[in-house]
């Protein structure tokens, strides 16, 4: 079985994003960019499935600017076999990402797509579900466990009340939640080896997709800030203040 | 504008998330119908029919809809697509699972996690884990929206409106439900609790977490939350996680015990009315958002708090 793992280049998760003063977005110039953490988990899961003999090949796909090549090299260093960069210089919304990935699926014929459940920049949490709809496949979102059986995948999902287990007919879409696994670090030799792994460059037009903006961003602003309150030395005083001052007890 | 609101429920009870999402739907303006999709969910439909400002309730029942899996639920919503301009659901794990599937069927972009309705087609939503708020305008012919319910008050009750039975779509046969592993609890739900007490990694173990946090929760009638670090360490189950990738909450009182206040966690609770932080580290970022802070060892402060609540 072939696995496809889409990966997105985003602001590093440890950096606090700054809203531009003119309200046109978040400052991305000279900011450290890395692979979306949920996508790292998806890559790791793909590698583990291959190590367990459940998959033969892992193809990493990124849709983004030329620099997304670095993100793909990271995926290759972790253990993906080859990569496809679908080069687009503008922001691509989840629906168009899903349409491009549908095109990739038509050429590659994967048995399973593994995606991160959401990207930590737009926090949309849509691409996997949309891709499943466009392909007419089953979806196992927010996965904390994936088991591959004969023609099916059993996925444990993190849901509001706890966990839900579903069985999906393959091919299918799985999106990774935080606790699916702990991604590995790429070793230096594997980083060197990754430089020689194949990386194809494509365009959305190669998949018959014309990228457009459906959600117009009118404004980006800072969230309302809370003010730091007061420090209290004794619990008795805290309880008193919560009762009398704040009125919440 | 006609709006279809997808009800959040477990076939027995209508979740108050629906009443909150209804408030958002009413701000969009127009006629709002509620879809209850499930099995044996008549009581849920009757409860939805009592919500104020609803035109009618549609009840679709089938075996495939019982667990509201994305594939059969999206298929049923799709059969109703022609009659509506906007499709709204609470941004719960059910809403997040099914709505993008609906949006892709309709060839429209979804607006996720709406915290404010600016007008019928423009919405505010958090991005970058709540570090920025975007105002977006949907230019599509139809609109698919999920609502961050902690930002909306629940709609009240009014006169009952009619419940109309509709045909569930045929099961696409792609997925099968195996089981739910849901811990039964007498405590209030995180997303609707008035008071939440949360523990972090400083608790050190699952046993300590329960020993220290739960007695106070019981005394306060509070829901119990946890930081991602505590959940990752196995001190608390995943459904207790508060934060950008867990649950987003806005209770009257949020008590953070041994939680440093990573951006990720703050994104999930900073809209709480009153925040109390208990932490050993005076420099912990949680104190920057807390109304009341106690710098001290949580293993002394929290049991003391329990005593003082007598």
Determine whether the interchain pair B238/A163 forms a contact, defined as Cβ–Cβ distance below 8 Å: yes
For B178, which of A154, A220, A239 is closest by C-beta distance? A154
Q: What is the mean pLDDT of residues A93-104?
A: 98
Instruction: For residue range B208-238, list pLDDT tens digits in order.
Output: 999 999 999 999 999 999 999 999 999 999 9
What is the pLDDT at residue A165? 98
Whether residue B18 is predicted with pLDDT greater than 90 in this model: the reply is yes
Q: Is A147 on the interface with B (CB under 8 A)?
A: no
| B256: confidence class by pLDDT, cuts 50, 70, 90 | very high
What is the pLDDT at residue B189? 87
- On whether residue A152 sits in a domain, the answer given is yes
Domain of A149 in residue numbering reads as: 2-244
| B191: confidence class by pLDDT, cuts 50, 70, 90 | confident
Instruction: For residue range B262-296, list pLDDT tens digits in order.
Output: 988 998 999 899 999 999 999 999 999 999 999 99
- On whether residue A249 sits in a domain, the answer given is no
**For residues B277 and B259, is the Cβ–Cβ distance under 8 A?**
yes
Which residues have C-beta within 8 Å of that of residue B127, sequence separation ≥ 6? A26, A121, A122, A123, A220, B133, B134
Whether residue A16 is predicted with pLDDT greater than 90 in this model: the reply is no
Is B195-308 assigned to CATH 3.40.50.1220? Answer: yes
Residue B210, annotated ligand binder?
no
Domains in chain A: how many in total? Answer: 1
Q: What is the mean pLDDT of residues B127-141?
A: 95
Q: For residues B109 and B100, what is the distance between their CA atoms, to the nearest angstrom?
A: 8
- On whether residue A83 sits in a domain, the answer given is yes
Determine whether the interchain pair A164/B228 forms a contact, defined as Cβ–Cβ distance below 8 Å: no
Domain of residue A63, CATH code: 3.40.50.620
Instruction: For residue range A37-96, list pLDDT tens digits in order.
Output: 999 999 999 999 999 999 999 999 999 999 999 999 999 999 999 999 999 999 999 999
CATH number of B2-166: 3.40.50.620
| B97: confidence class by pLDDT, cuts 50, 70, 90 | very high
For B293, which of A144, A223, A229 is closest by C-beta distance? A229
Same fold, B2-166 and B195-308: yes
Residue B228, annotated ligand binder?
yes
Instruction: For residue range B64-83, list pLDDT tens digits in order.
Output: 999 999 999 999 999 999 99
Per domain, the residue ranges of chain B are: 2-166, 195-308
Determine whether the interchain pair B180/A165 forms a contact, defined as Cβ–Cβ distance below 8 Å: yes
Determine whether the interchain pair A215/B138 forms a contact, defined as Cβ–Cβ distance below 8 Å: yes
Q: Is B283 on the interface with A (CB under 8 A)?
A: no
What is the pLDDT at residue A102? 98
Show the DSSP H helices in B131-262 as ranges: 206-220, 228-232
Q: Residues in chain B, how many?
A: 310
| pTM of model > 0.90 | yes
Whether residue A14 is predicted with pLDDT greater than 90 in this model: the reply is no
- On whether residue A234 sits in a domain, the answer given is yes
Q: DSSP state, B189? A: P
**Probe site for chain B from A123, A154, A177 (most B CB atoms < 10 A):** A123
């Amino acid at each position: 079985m072939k696995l496809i793992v889409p990966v997105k280049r985003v602001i590093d998760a440890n950096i606090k994003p700054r809203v531009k003063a003119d309200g046109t977005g978040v400052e991305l110039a000279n900011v450290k960019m890395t692979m979306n953490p949920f996508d790292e988990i998806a890559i790791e899961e793909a590698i583990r499935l291959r190590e367990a003999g459940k998959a033969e090949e892992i193809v990493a796909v990124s849709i983004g600017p030329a620099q997304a090549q670095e993100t793909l090299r990271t995926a290759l260093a972790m253990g993906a076999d080859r990569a496809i960069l679908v080069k687009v210089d503008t922001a691509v919304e989840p629906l168009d990402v899903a349409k491009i990935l549908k095109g990739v699926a038509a050429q590659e014929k994967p048995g399973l797509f593994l995606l991160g459940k959401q990207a930590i920049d737009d926090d949309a949490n849509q691409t996997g579900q949309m891709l499943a709809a466009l392909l007419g496949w089953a979806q196992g979102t927010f996965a904390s466990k994936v088991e591959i059986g004969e023609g099916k995948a059993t996925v444990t999902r993190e849901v509001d009340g706890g966990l839900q287990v579903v069985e999906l007919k393959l091919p299918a879409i799985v999106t990774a939640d935080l606790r699916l696994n702990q991604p590995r670090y790429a070793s230096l030799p594997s980083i060197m080896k990754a430089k020689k792994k194949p990386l194809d460059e494509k365009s959305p037009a190669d998949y018959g997709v014309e990228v457009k903006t459906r959600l117009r961003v009118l404004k980006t602003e800072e969230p309302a800030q809370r003010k730091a309150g007061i420090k209290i030395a004794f619990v008795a005083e805290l309880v008193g203040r919560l009762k009398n001052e704040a009125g919440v007890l | 504008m006609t709006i279809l609101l997808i009800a959040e429920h477990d076939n027995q009870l209508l979740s108050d998330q629906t009443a909150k999402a209804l408030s958002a739907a009413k701000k969009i303006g127009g006629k709002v119908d509620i879809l209850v999709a499930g099995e044996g969910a008549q009581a849920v439909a009757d409860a939805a029919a009592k919500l104020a400002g609803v035109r009618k309730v549609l009840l679709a029942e089938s075996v495939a809809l019982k667990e509201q899996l994305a594939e059969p639920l999206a298929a049923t919503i799709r059969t109703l697509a022609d009659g509506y301009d906007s499709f709204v659901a609470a941004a719960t794990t059910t809403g997040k699972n099914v709505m993008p599937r609906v949006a892709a069927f309709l060839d429209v972009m979804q607006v996720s996690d709406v915290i404010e309705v600016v007008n019928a087609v423009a919405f505010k939503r958090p991005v970058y884990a709540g570090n920025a708020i975007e105002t977006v305008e949907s230019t599509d012919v139809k609109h698919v929206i999920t609502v961050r319910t902690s930002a909306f008050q629940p709609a009240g009750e009014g006169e009952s409106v009619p419940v109309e039975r509709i045909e569930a779509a045929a099961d696409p046969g792609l997925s099968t439900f195996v089981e739910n592993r849901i811990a039964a609890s007498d405590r209030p739900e995180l997303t609707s609790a008035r008071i939440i007490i949360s523990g972090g990694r400083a608790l050190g173990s699952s046993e300590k977490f329960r020993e220290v946090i739960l007695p106070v929760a019981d005394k306060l009638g509070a829901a119990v939350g946890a930081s991602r670090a505590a959940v990752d360490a196995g001190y608390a189950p995943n459904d207790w996680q508060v934060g950008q990738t867990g649950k987003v909450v806005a209770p009257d009182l949020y008590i953070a015990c041994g939680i440093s206040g990573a951006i990720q966690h703050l994104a999930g609770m900073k809209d709480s009315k009153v925040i109390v932080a208990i932490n050993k580290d005076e420099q912990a970022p949680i104190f920057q958002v807390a109304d009341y802070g106690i710098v001290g060892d949580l293993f002394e402060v929290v049991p003391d708090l329990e005593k003082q609540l007598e």
